[in-house]
Amino acid sequence: MTSSTSYESKPLPFSGPLNGISEKTVLIHHDKLYVGYVNKMKEVGQKLKEMAASGIGLDAANQSYSDLRALRDGETFTANGVYLHEDYFSVLGGDGKAEGPLADAVVEKWGSLEKFITFFSATGMAMRGWIVLAWDARLGRLKIYGCDAHNQGGVWGAIPLLVLDVYEHAYFADFGSDRKSYISTFWKNLNWKAANERFELVKNLSIS
Ligand code: FE
């Protein structure tokens, strides 16, 4: 098992500009922001490891402020910052052609592909950070979740399949404040094949 201190950043799964999203935006997003989260996640992991080894006692921990509290808060923020970005990049670089078992399951659940895309996209207008189509292993079905921050709004037991980043850094340089156009561009670049592979891996997972 990989420890948090040895985690390495993953390269982009595609090269060149996306359809409507500039290469500059993608490279800043991946090379600076995402890699920055990976580095911070490793730093936090290392500090927690040292703290555990030093035998920190309960009296040194405090919920208003303590080093341990700051590290635990940073731990979930950076880890989710890393994982959500990896999942976001992993479903980009495709041709947007919806097909395969996930597309079929989405149609079955939401009635049509258009209805699903509209509902997911509307959630993207309603949230400040992330929209996730997940396999919720407790519910045993697909579920759309929205988050305002990396470590707020995530549901444990739900595995991301389609992830959309709606922070301004993902689109402002290309679209200004027009988030709606950015979201419609997301669908044009979607790699359904990658999303199908994740879905196949987890669709029978049940922890209820
Ligand atoms: Fe981002």
Q: What is the pLDDT of residues 162-203, one digit of tens each?
A: 999 999 999 999 999 999 999 999 999 999 999 999 999 999
Cα(166) to centroid of ligand 1, in Å?
7
Residue ranges in the chain assigned as alpha helix (H): 23-27, 35-54, 67-90, 101-110, 113-126, 172-175, 179-188, 192-202
Mean pLDDT (whole number) for 88-109: 98
Where, residue-wise, is CATH 1.10.287.990 in the chain? 23-90
Query: What is the distance between the alpha carbons of residues 73 and 93, in angstroms, rounded to a whole number?
Result: 32
- Is the pLDDT at 4 greater than 70? The verdict is no
Cα(51) to centroid of ligand 1, in Å?
30
Q: Are 166 and 112 in contact (CB under 8 A)?
A: no
Cα(163) to centroid of ligand 1, in Å?
11
CATH number of 101-202: 3.55.40.20
The pLDDT assigned to 11 comes to 97
Cα(108) to centroid of ligand 1, in Å?
30
Cα(201) to centroid of ligand 1, in Å?
25
Mean pLDDT (whole number) for 102-117: 98
The mean pLDDT value of the chain amounts to 95
- Is the pLDDT at 1 greater than 50? The verdict is no
The pLDDT assigned to 5 comes to 61
Burial state string for 132-148 with b = 16 or more CB within 10 A and e = fewer than 16: bbbbbbeeeebbbbbbe
Query: What is the distance between the alpha carbons of residues 5 and 3, in angstroms, rounded to a whole number?
Result: 5
- Is the pLDDT at 17 greater than 90? The verdict is no
Mean pLDDT (whole number) for 155-163: 97
Where, residue-wise, is CATH 3.55.40.20 in the chain? 101-202
Cα(208) to centroid of ligand 1, in Å?
32
Cα(86) to centroid of ligand 1, in Å?
10
The pLDDT assigned to 2 comes to 46
Query: What is the distance between the alpha carbons of residues 12 and 180, in angstroms, rounded to a whole number?
Result: 24
How would CATH label the architecture of 23-90? Orthogonal Bundle (1.10)
Mean pLDDT (whole number) for 124-130: 98
Mean pLDDT (whole number) for 15-35: 94
